[in-house]
């Protein structure tokens, strides 16, 4: 038996699920009556999503469709950071979005501070863009996971490498 157990707190996005959600969104937009004959595109380039629509109403509708498809595929709406919308050519509207991958140093500090303030017998250590939590008791690690799930962070978190 291992003397210590651990898990990692991360913020990761499954790019295959994002691609599937974008394809489903484009299919739904293509079938919707209010989008018939309109210019509407959602494009994925790496971790960038580009939305292009004829007007603000259609852009908002596209974002709602995309958010619902991402949510159904297990991706938090907090994982997308939208930039300012801008006017494009021929009267269309464009908006870029970035997928958030990895925790920043400040976000790691927020997670570790919450863990330390909880007074659970665990150690939290920042490793690059994740937080490693270790303990000698599996039950305490489970309590720590429940504590983190109950907290409403401004960023998405997941748990992996539970050993």
Domain at 15-99: CATH architecture: 2-Layer Sandwich (3.30)
Confidence of residue 114 (pLDDT cuts 50, 70, 90): confident
The pLDDT assigned to 68 comes to 93
More confident residue, 1 or 112: 112
Count the alpha carbons within 13 Å of 160 in the hemisphere toward its beta carbon: 7
Task: State the span(s) of the chain assigned CATH 3.30.70.990.
Answer: 15-99
The pLDDT assigned to 65 comes to 92
* Mean pLDDT over the full length of the chain: 86
45-82 pLDDT, tens digit each: 988 999 999 888 989 999 999 999 999 998 888 888 88
8-33 pLDDT, tens digit each: 888 888 889 999 999 999 999 988 88
The pLDDT assigned to 72 comes to 93
pLDDT over 90 (residue 113): no
Confidence of residue 2 (pLDDT cuts 50, 70, 90): low
Q: Where do the DSSP E strands lie in the chain?
A: 5-10, 40-45, 48-53, 80-82, 86-87, 93-99, 123-127, 130-135, 158-160
Q: For residue 97, which phi and psi values (nearest 5 degrees)? A: -135, 150
User: What is the domain class of 5-12+102-160 according to CATH?
Assistant: alpha beta
Task: State the span(s) of the chain assigned CATH 3.30.70.860.
Answer: 5-12+102-160
């Amino acid at each position: 038996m291992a003397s210590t157990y651990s898990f990692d707190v991360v913020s990761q996005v499954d790019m295959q699920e994002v691609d599937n959600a974008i394809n489903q969104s484009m299919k739904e937009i293509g079938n919707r009556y209010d989008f018939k004959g309109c210019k509407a595109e959602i494009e994925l380039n790496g971790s960038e999503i580009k939305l292009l629509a004829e007007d603000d109403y259609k852009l908002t509708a596209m974002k709602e469709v995309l958010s619902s498809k991402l949510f159904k595929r297990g991706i938090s709406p907090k994982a997308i950071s939208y930039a300012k919308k801008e006017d494009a050519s021929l009267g269309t509207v464009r908006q870029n979005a970035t997928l958030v991958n990895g925790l920043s140093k400040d976000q790691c500090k927020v997670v570790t501070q919450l863990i330390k303030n909880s007074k659970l017998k665990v150690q939290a250590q920042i490793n690059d863009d994740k937080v490693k939590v270790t303990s000698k008791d599996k039950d305490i690690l489970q309590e720590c996971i429940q504590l983190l799930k109950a907290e409403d962070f401004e960023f998405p978190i997941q748990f992996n490498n539970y050993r």
